[in-house]
Amino acid sequence: MDSQVKPLTDESYWTTLWDGQQHKVRHLRWAYVANRQLAKLFDRALSDFRQPTLIELGCADSLWLPYLAQNYESECYGVDFSELGCQLAQRNLALAAANGTIICEDLFTFAKNQHATFDFVYSMGLIEHFDTPQAILEEMYNLLKPGGTMLTVTPNLRGMYTPIARVASPKLLATHKVILPTDLDAALRDTGFQVTEFGYTGGPLKLSVVDYSPWRAVIGRWGHEVLCKFVNLTDIVVGNLLAGLRVPNQQLSSPYVYALSTKPK
């Protein structure tokens, strides 16, 4: 890793997180408004490419790599520095019978030998884990071919999710740099990208954007399972109800900040 870049997490943080996932098999569930909206973002990002070469940065336990491999005839890669996270990403590809290559390596080390390699680069929560997101965006820029497209998604930890995170997972705020859509747009433009759209996405509600795992120690394993099921059910029922009422994506309750951008030819 670049010595001038300070990560807000370390490998032990991610190993602990992914250890709780290794006995669960997860799938993309289209009952969630967030997944449907993210799928539309991917479709807009990849609409001009045929058989693109793409990579997910920070791919641990990725559910989107199998989806993209199956639906876009793409040559898929993923890179992450967590060994356990990479194993989960590889498992997800195998369960979907999808082809893809998972590389267990630090992003900065990987990027040194991969200049202008990919048609599409994306991350689903990465740049906010560094004190200087600009440094990560520069690596993304270098990985893209001229004319390539990038999708950047980060959690929205403003609005209603700030007080929820303070109660549910205080460490979440300590390991995430809060990034507003305008901040992301400005950082991308400063890096050299042409930003085509940016804002909030994921629907009008997604309580599961917050990590509730610290509560396992307070209410026990089964209590935590009940809590998570309640949160997921609320996301589906209330999220779809609000979407049906055409509540727009906004800072108060939408789960993600995003930007679509391109590298000039």
Segments making up each domain of the chain, as ranges: 11-157+176-203+256-262
Residues 33-72 pLDDT 10s: 999 999 999 999 999 898 999 999 999 889 999 999 999 9
Q: Are strands 194-201 and 256-262 parallel, antiparallel or unpaired?
A: antiparallel
Amino acid of residue 151: L
Residues 90-110 pLDDT 10s: 999 999 999 999 999 988 899
Overall CATH class of domain 11-157+176-203+256-262: alpha beta
CB 173 within 8 A of CB 164: no
Alpha helices in the chain (DSSP H): 11-19, 33-46, 64-71, 83-95, 107-111, 133-143, 161-168, 170-174, 181-191, 216-244
Residues 127-149 pLDDT 10s: 888 888 888 899 999 999 999 99
Structure tokens at 115: 């200049």
CB 126 within 8 A of CB 153: no
CA distance 67 to 121: 15
For residue 30, the tally of other CB atoms under 10 A from its CB is 9
